[in-house]
Amino acid sequence: MKAVTRAIIPAAGLGTRMLPISHAVPKEMLPIVDLPAIYYLVEEAVLSGIREILVITNRDKDAMEDFFDDSPSYEARLRASGRDADADRLREIARMANIYFIRQKEAKGLGHAVHCARDFVGDNLFTVLYGDDIIFSKTPVCRQLIDTYEQYGRAVVGVKPVPMADVARYCSLKIAPIDGRDDCFFCDDMIEKPKKGQEFSNYSILGRVLLTPEIFDILKDQAPGAGGEIQLTDAMATLARERGVTALHFEGERFDMGSKLGFLRANVVRGCEHEEVGEEFRAFLREFAKNL
Ligand code: UTP
């Protein structure tokens, strides 16, 4: 069985739900306390054993590339003022993986963004970490998907049950349990943003998938779907109907950094746990909550 050594992070969307900030700061660079959201995606891939990472970006998002690059003059100033530990940390971030960037020239949809990675992926298996979905978990979610792939040998999609009323905002999967498990399913169809009555179930894909390279032949001819965008889900639906995919109910808490509420929640959770400011922040929250 082939090892999974490549990951794609599509991060070229317009980020309209985070306007006005997202017109000047890419939503992937919005901080969770003191690290940008994209750091957590790269870290998840690395902790899953993946070191070759392609970020799909666009002309307004150079800040991501800068974040993972060396900054010799800034580092020199840090060292000159005795802040060697900070300078070392920046070096460590710049070396945590081999990170490549490619531009999606037009935001034609997530499926189109993934198709831009075809040459990078070649004949290999790969994971996709949706650029605005941060997941805090015990085992990194990409690792959970890889372990599931190694068990069942098909493409794997990371899913969670969502409230039935919300399914229309996500996608809906046709699933049946595998081996009597309640966290792992065989999926042979799915639909993006279903209208009322079109839902298969309230299980939706949330932010992580592990795909086989056949997806590129499907994406090549994929017609625009919901919202006029080339949808990755539509291509994965074809894959599911032709070969079946495994749906894993992954362990972990997901934060939608593309939404204002998700951004705030992620900062509160990580702020409370933060080594440097956590204790004071928790005390502040306790006081603050008294007047809510
Ligand atoms: P979203 O639909 O959540 O991102 O796509 P968006 O288009 O930026 O969102 P809004 O609705 O305008 O706020 C999921 C992921 O796919 C990427 C996004 O950057 C996001 O990480 N994406 C989406 C692309 O890379 N290219 C696209 O054309 C569309």
pLDDT digits (tens, 9 = 90+) for 243-266: 999 999 999 999 999 999 999 999
Q: Which residues contact 52 (CB under 8 A, 6 or more apart)?
A: 5, 6, 7, 97, 98, 100, 120
Q: From the CB of residue 21, how many other CB atoms can be counted at a distance below 10 Å?
A: 14
- Mean pLDDT along residues 42-58: 97
- Mean pLDDT along residues 176-197: 95
- Mean pLDDT along residues 84-99: 96
Answer whether 104 contacts ligand 1 (Cβ < 6 A). Answer: yes
Per-residue confidence (pLDDT) for residue 50, from 0 to 100: 97
Answer whether 277 contacts ligand 1 (Cβ < 6 A). Answer: no
Per-residue confidence (pLDDT) for residue 35, from 0 to 100: 97
Per-residue confidence (pLDDT) for residue 1, from 0 to 100: 74
- For the entire predicted model, the pTM comes to 0.96
Work out the burial of residue 246: count CB atoms within 10 Å of its CB; fewer than 13 is exposed, 13-18 middle, 19 or more buried: buried
Per-residue confidence (pLDDT) for residue 207, from 0 to 100: 96
For residue 107, the ligand 1 atom closest to its alpha carbon is: 28
Work out the burial of residue 232: count CB atoms within 10 Å of its CB; fewer than 13 is exposed, 13-18 middle, 19 or more buried: buried
Q: Given a cut of 90, is residue 126 above it in pLDDT?
A: yes
Q: Given a cut of 80, is residue 131 above it in pLDDT?
A: yes
Ligand 1 centroid, distance to 109 Cα (angstroms): 7
Quick one: CATH architecture of 4-289?
Answer: Alpha-Beta Complex (3.90)
Answer whether 133 contacts ligand 1 (Cβ < 6 A). Answer: no
Answer whether 140 contacts ligand 1 (Cβ < 6 A). Answer: no
Query: Closest Cα to atom 22, ligand 1: which residue?
Result: 13
Per-residue confidence (pLDDT) for residue 59, from 0 to 100: 85
- Mean pLDDT along residues 103-128: 96
**What sign has the CA pseudo-torsion 112, 134, 248, 118?**
positive
Ligand 1 centroid, distance to 104 Cα (angstroms): 11
Average pLDDT, the chain: 96
Ligand 1 centroid, distance to 73 Cα (angstroms): 34
Alpha helices, DSSP H only, in the chain?
Answer: 37-47, 62-67, 72-80, 84-94, 110-115, 118-121, 141-152, 215-220, 232-243, 260-273, 278-290
Q: How far is CA 94 from the centre of its chain?
A: 20
Is residue 222 within 8 A of residue 230, CB to CB? The reply is yes
Q: From the CB of residue 135, how many other CB atoms can be counted at a distance below 10 Å?
A: 24
For residue 9, the ligand 1 atom closest to its alpha carbon is: 21
DSSP state of 33: T
- Mean pLDDT along residues 202-216: 97
Per-residue confidence (pLDDT) for residue 2, from 0 to 100: 80
Per-residue confidence (pLDDT) for residue 60, from 0 to 100: 82
Angle between helices 72-80 and 84-94 (to 10 degrees): 160
Integer Cα distance of 213 and 194 in angstroms? 26
User: Is the peptide bond preceding residue 163 cis, with omega within 30 degrees of 0?
Assistant: no
Ligand 1 centroid, distance to 88 Cα (angstroms): 33
- Mean pLDDT along residues 165-194: 95
Ligand 1 centroid, distance to 22 Cα (angstroms): 12
